Chains A and B, each alone.
Chain A
Amino acid sequence: MDHALTLITFVPVAGMVVCLAMPAAMKDACKWIAAAATAAQLAIAIGLYTSFDTTTTAIQFAEKYQWIPAYHITYFMGVDGISISMVLLTALICFISVFASFSITRAEKAYYALLLMLDAGMMGVFVSLDFFLFYIFWEVMLLPMYFLIGIWGGPRREYAAIKFFLYTLLGSVLILLAMLGLYYYGAQSTFDMTVLASNASHYSTTFQRIVWIALFIGFAIKIPAFPFHTWLPDAHVEAPTAISVILAGVLLKMGTYGILRVNFAMLPEATHQLAWLFLGVIGTINIVYGALCAMAQTDFKKLIAYSSISHMGYVMLGAASFTAAGINGAVLQMFNHGTVTAMLFILVGVIYDRAHHREIAGFGGLAQQMPVYAGMTGFAFFAGMALPGMSAFISEVLVLIGAWQTYPLMTTFGAATAILTAGYLLWTYQRIYLGPFNEKYAGYLDLSFRESFTLVPLAVIVLILGVYPHAVLGLLNTSLVHLNQVVLSTPGPAVALLH
């Protein structure tokens, strides 16, 4: 497993090259090349998972080579408990999304090549431990995303694609400046994230805060946190199904991952002092506001997009709690949200492929025509509501237990939103699947084998993690508890506001 991380990042790139080299006559082969590349990636990820040592906070599977020595830039990859869970999620979601893409018929070669490039960029973000390398991967995935939404998207695809690009670039340039600040004003000039983390105490308090806020805005746009969330519903509505799956399943996690990897680890003091406002309060707003917006939607996909915003709020709230339960719950929620939302978007795609619209009011009684589909949606909705037995139940409860100890008021709002969530999901279910059957939809086929193949693995994971969350929590716990300790060892906020 010497070069496992390089391999897992660049297997999709190899797939991309093969895809592009395919003669036009063999463009059908591209989907299978993509499937093979992501399957190989998933296999490596499972290999990493089984050989990961959960008892240490040390970086594992590390690889480090000089890249640009004059500027102390290295090619440094490695994983700890936080990133290994995201590596696993990325590999899984990308594999699923290839199969969810089979309905794409236009310019398949380019589509799968871009999808694989996106995959490589996301994987690279999670395994990089050199800040420069991290940033390169972070930016590299913007471009395929732009084209995937812009070429294969819905009617307003151009608007949504450029909005996504502009928003995220705005965030990334702030990260770039913050990165340069950390490089120049630390104890030593380096981009090595592990060294930067151990240098934390070197920066002045004001400097820490300014850099922290710049980084926060950069990452918050990706989460997306209120008020930077407006690109997400547009992007989701216009994106093809598989891209929505990746967007919600993996891309959003890069934001919260960045906050943990950079803000928490490198600027613990500022984190300790600012988290209540930027993660706690904004996280709570995300939860409540996202749920309220979801309730008002008439477009099925937009509803899921807003519910995504709402659920990412739990991640922020949990991380801000500075309790072991809260922060563990936060990262577990990142994983669970990835699988559950992926299911939801695939389910939206299933009906969109048949009806070519997503107006909730235009459906009705679909359960009679498509019972398996309705059943699967019911399952996914229950998972979205975080009912006991589902994976999201564990993570949301952990977040709420942790956050309650720090921010009882905000936690009350967060917990009460569960009612809103149940409200909009059940109401939607009722309008689409129950009630009088709309004859327009007679003759629709139930889930195909391919569609089931994309949904069942996710459902199984949701169930397993609902019963045995340790499968992922075990990975996280050591690293997160350590990270939490680091933050807690710094002076806290001056005012004990909302405590």
Chain B
Amino acid sequence: MDLGNFASLAHFLPELLLTGGLLLLVIVDLLVANKTHLGDLALIITAGALLLIALTPVTASAWLFHRMLVFDGFAMFFRALIALAALVAVWMSMGSEEVRGCDQGEYYAILLASTVAMFLMAESANLLMAYLSLEFVSLTSYILTGFLRHNRRSLEAALKYLIYGGVASGTMIYGMSWIFGISGSLDFAEINKALTTHGALPVLTVFISLVLILAGMGYKVASVPFHMWAPDVYTGAPIPITTFLAIGSKAAGFALLTRFFFPAISSLTASGSWQVPKGVDWPQLLLVICVVTMTLGNLAALQQTNMKRLLAYSSIAQAGYALMGFVVLSNDGIRAMLFYLFAYYLMDAGAFLVVMIVANSTGREDIDAYRGLAWRGGVVPAIALSIFLLSLTGIPLTVGFIGKFYLFAAVIHGQFYVLAIVGVMNSVVSLYYYMRPIKTMFLDSPNGDEGRVAGDTWNYGLMGVLACATIALGIYWTPIITFANRSLNFFVGPA
């Protein structure tokens, strides 16, 4: 179906709600003197959007707004994931000491705008739309990163983010212009038609344009060599924003990456594997990126002493794992990647949340602030953080293990044996740095100068929910894999 502007609105309700909500936030911000409840309003709006998404059945896939956006199972998965990420980010912002000093109305309004932008990124069916939504996400992210106006690190991070982002998106739009030149269209379905039926495909030209486009998308998922911004930005941004960037922005990046490299330029065969345009060997390139990303992320994380930086490098490595599902060129792999992104959402949000709880109480983010946490009254956050970190490592009885299990299964099934070995060896290396905070919390005795860690009920509640979900879904994960299975549905035009 190719829906016009008005007919599309029925499928666009979550975005409309968020947009309306953010305007409402701005207005309410002007009208009321007491700003403490703006966060509640933002939370209600986000929860409402999530509810709308949950209630929307994907009965018929369609193009929206004259083929600018696409409404299908795949988009729904990312809408849900990004809305969940936004929910966590808003929730965390309400309990964050850092955010308390900021302009509440603007903060939440931009956060919601960023969420809408990520939705659009996951739904793009057109290169122009893809570029605009990616820039939209970037712009809101720069502002949010630099939101602590009186904090030099925050400002520095925003500036770095901006410069890297400018270069990456400039490179990307240049690549897009090449694709437009070759295929004569910006529409994903038309590009696909042009590339697959092209008589003599200019292989090198296509390859170069794909590399250029990869710069922009790789920057969003923080894969090597476009990862350099991540450690600084993750460290400088307020923790709820770091979380939102790590789980939401990365998910949106993966959505666009997948939609562009699979339905837009490759074609699905009957056996569930994807066929790339003849001679254009982008999977090889991504294989190298995937291996380097996880290895570099893990090796760099070994040295970190700041928890946010450690988690930043870890999130680079995690993106590398998720890319394994990408390079095997099969629906198995994409499904594993979807599952992994969901698992990553739970465990990474949880880990950052504990970092925030500790930072709220002690004002510190370095690993030394965690010394003997379990023995000085912080046993609950200590256990929760251990669960999240072990899940990130991929130890069984956590959802992270199941995610890795599916990824490695897809890799072994696709006969990428060397990749499998590199992947598991990376898991072993990662154990060392994921265990370091755990060691510090449980095995070391407190010095006595670390300060008490106490959290409010809201933060502890969210932490409990995330920790329980991490374990429960590690034991019984059928609902998630069913959801991922249903979402493996790309709309590429009427059959």
Interface residues of B in 405-426 (CB under 8 A from A): 405, 408-409, 412-413, 420-421, 424-425
Cβ contact of B442, chosen from A147, A170, A173, A177, cutoff 8 A: A147
Cβ contact of B439, chosen from A68, A150, A181, A184, cutoff 8 A: A150
Cα–Cα distance between A151 and B386 once the two chains are bound (Å): 15
Given contacts A139-B396, A166-B428, contact A184 B481 (CB under 8 A): no
Q: Is the interface of B mostly helix, strand, loop or mixed?
A: helix
| B303 surroundings in chain A (CB, below 8 A) | none
B424 to chain A minimum Cβ distance, whole angstroms, is 4
Given contacts A70-B478, A135-B396, A143-B395, contact A184 B413 (CB under 8 A): yes
Is B408 a contact partner of A169 (Cβ separation < 8 A)? Answer: no
Is B435 a contact partner of A173 (Cβ separation < 8 A)? Answer: no
Is A162 a contact partner of B412 (Cβ separation < 8 A)? Answer: no
Cα–Cα distance between A170 and B409 once the two chains are bound (Å): 18
Query: CB of A165 within 8 A of chain B?
Result: yes
Is B443 a contact partner of A177 (Cβ separation < 8 A)? Answer: no
Given contacts A162-B432, A166-B431, contact A176 B390 (CB under 8 A): no
The 10 closest A-B pairs by CB, nearest first: A173-B424, A180-B412, A139-B396, A136-B396, A150-B443, A170-B428, A184-B413, A180-B409, A169-B428, A158-B443
Is A169 a contact partner of B427 (Cβ separation < 8 A)? Answer: yes
Query: CB of A473 within 8 A of chain B?
Result: no
> What are 10 A-to-B residue pairs whose CB atoms are below 8 Å?
A67-B476, A139-B395, A147-B442, A150-B442, A157-B443, A158-B443, A161-B443, A177-B408, A177-B420, A180-B420
- List 7 additional A-B contacts (Cβ < 8 Å) besides A139-B395, A162-B432: A68-B476, A146-B435, A161-B443, A169-B427, A180-B409, A183-B409, A184-B412
Is B428 a contact partner of A173 (Cβ separation < 8 A)? Answer: yes
Is B432 a contact partner of A173 (Cβ separation < 8 A)? Answer: no
| A68 surroundings in chain B (CB, below 8 A) | 476-478, 481
Interface residues of B in 167-215 (CB under 8 A from A): none
| B477 surroundings in chain A (CB, below 8 A) | 68
The residue in A70, A150, A177, A181 that gathers the most chain B C-beta atoms within 10 A of its C-beta is A177
Is A162 a contact partner of B408 (Cβ separation < 8 A)? Answer: no
Query: CB of A174 within 8 A of chain B?
Result: yes
Is B431 a contact partner of A165 (Cβ separation < 8 A)? Answer: yes
| A157 surroundings in chain B (CB, below 8 A) | 443
Q: Is the interface of A mostly helix, strand, loop or mixed?
A: helix
Interface residues of B in 425-476 (CB under 8 A from A): 425, 427-428, 431-432, 435, 439, 442-443, 476
Nearest to A150 among chain B residues (CB) is: B443
B386 to chain A minimum Cβ distance, whole angstroms, is 9
Given contacts A170-B428, A176-B408, contact A143 B390 (CB under 8 A): yes
Cα–Cα distance between A142 and B393 once the two chains are bound (Å): 13
B72 to chain A minimum Cβ distance, whole angstroms, is 22
The residue in B401, B405, B485 that gathers the most chain A C-beta atoms within 10 A of its C-beta is B405
B444 to chain A minimum Cβ distance, whole angstroms, is 8
Query: CB of B397 within 8 A of chain A?
Result: yes
Query: CB of A140 within 8 A of chain B?
Result: yes
The residue in B397, B431, B481, B482 that gathers the most chain A C-beta atoms within 10 A of its C-beta is B431
Binary contact track B361-394/A, C-beta < 8 Å → 1, others 0: 0000000000000000000000000000010000
| B485 surroundings in chain A (CB, below 8 A) | 70
| B424 surroundings in chain A (CB, below 8 A) | 173-174, 176-177
Nearest to B409 among chain A residues (CB) is: A180
B119 to chain A minimum Cβ distance, whole angstroms, is 29
Cα–Cα distance between A67 and B482 once the two chains are bound (Å): 14
B375 to chain A minimum Cβ distance, whole angstroms, is 8
| B401 surroundings in chain A (CB, below 8 A) | 139
Could you tell me how many residues of chain A have their Cβ less than 8 Å away from some Cβ of chain B?
Answer: 29
Sort chain B's interface into a size bin.
20 to 34
B409 to chain A minimum Cβ distance, whole angstroms, is 5
Cβ contact of B432, chosen from A158, A166, A174, A180, cutoff 8 A: A166
Is A169 a contact partner of B431 (Cβ separation < 8 A)? Answer: yes
Is A180 a contact partner of B431 (Cβ separation < 8 A)? Answer: no
Cα–Cα distance between A124 and B395 once the two chains are bound (Å): 16
B397 to chain A minimum Cβ distance, whole angstroms, is 6
A106 to chain B minimum Cβ distance, whole angstroms, is 10
Cβ contact of B443, chosen from A136, A151, A170, cutoff 8 A: A151
Interface residues of A in 139-157 (CB under 8 A from B): 139-140, 142-143, 146-147, 150-151, 157
Cα–Cα distance between A63 and B421 once the two chains are bound (Å): 34
Cα–Cα distance between A139 and B435 once the two chains are bound (Å): 15
| A143 surroundings in chain B (CB, below 8 A) | 390, 395
| B428 surroundings in chain A (CB, below 8 A) | 166, 169-170, 173
| B390 surroundings in chain A (CB, below 8 A) | 143
| B396 surroundings in chain A (CB, below 8 A) | 135-136, 139-140
Is A136 a contact partner of B421 (Cβ separation < 8 A)? Answer: no
| B397 surroundings in chain A (CB, below 8 A) | 136, 140
Is A142 a contact partner of B395 (Cβ separation < 8 A)? Answer: yes
| A170 surroundings in chain B (CB, below 8 A) | 425, 428
| B412 surroundings in chain A (CB, below 8 A) | 177, 180-181, 184
A132 to chain B minimum Cβ distance, whole angstroms, is 8
Cα–Cα distance between A147 and B442 once the two chains are bound (Å): 8
Is A162 a contact partner of B435 (Cβ separation < 8 A)? Answer: yes
Cα–Cα distance between A45 and B446 once the two chains are bound (Å): 43
| A136 surroundings in chain B (CB, below 8 A) | 396-397
Nearest to A178 among chain B residues (CB) is: B412
Cα–Cα distance between A147 and B383 once the two chains are bound (Å): 12
Is B405 a contact partner of A176 (Cβ separation < 8 A)? Answer: yes
B421 to chain A minimum Cβ distance, whole angstroms, is 7
| B431 surroundings in chain A (CB, below 8 A) | 165-166, 169
B486 to chain A minimum Cβ distance, whole angstroms, is 12
Nearest to A184 among chain B residues (CB) is: B413
Is A165 a contact partner of B435 (Cβ separation < 8 A)? Answer: yes
Nearest to A183 among chain B residues (CB) is: B409
| B408 surroundings in chain A (CB, below 8 A) | 176-177, 180
Cα–Cα distance between A142 and B428 once the two chains are bound (Å): 13
B422 to chain A minimum Cβ distance, whole angstroms, is 11
| B478 surroundings in chain A (CB, below 8 A) | 68, 70
The residue in B390, B439, B443 that gathers the most chain A C-beta atoms within 10 A of its C-beta is B443
Binary contact track B25-37/A, C-beta < 8 Å → 1, others 0: 0000000000000
Cα–Cα distance between A139 and B409 once the two chains are bound (Å): 18
| A139 surroundings in chain B (CB, below 8 A) | 395-396, 401
The residue in B409, B421, B428, B439 that gathers the most chain A C-beta atoms within 10 A of its C-beta is B428
| A70 surroundings in chain B (CB, below 8 A) | 478, 481-482, 485
Cα–Cα distance between A165 and B421 once the two chains are bound (Å): 19
| A169 surroundings in chain B (CB, below 8 A) | 427-428, 431
Nearest to A181 among chain B residues (CB) is: B412
A206 to chain B minimum Cβ distance, whole angstroms, is 12
| A174 surroundings in chain B (CB, below 8 A) | 424
Cα–Cα distance between A172 and B277 once the two chains are bound (Å): 38
| A146 surroundings in chain B (CB, below 8 A) | 435
Nearest to A167 among chain B residues (CB) is: B428
Cα–Cα distance between A401 and B428 once the two chains are bound (Å): 41
Cα–Cα distance between A143 and B435 once the two chains are bound (Å): 10
B332 to chain A minimum Cβ distance, whole angstroms, is 10
A481 to chain B minimum Cβ distance, whole angstroms, is 34
Nearest to A162 among chain B residues (CB) is: B435
Interface residues of A in 287-314 (CB under 8 A from B): none
Cα–Cα distance between A55 and B86 once the two chains are bound (Å): 62
Cα–Cα distance between A67 and B424 once the two chains are bound (Å): 25
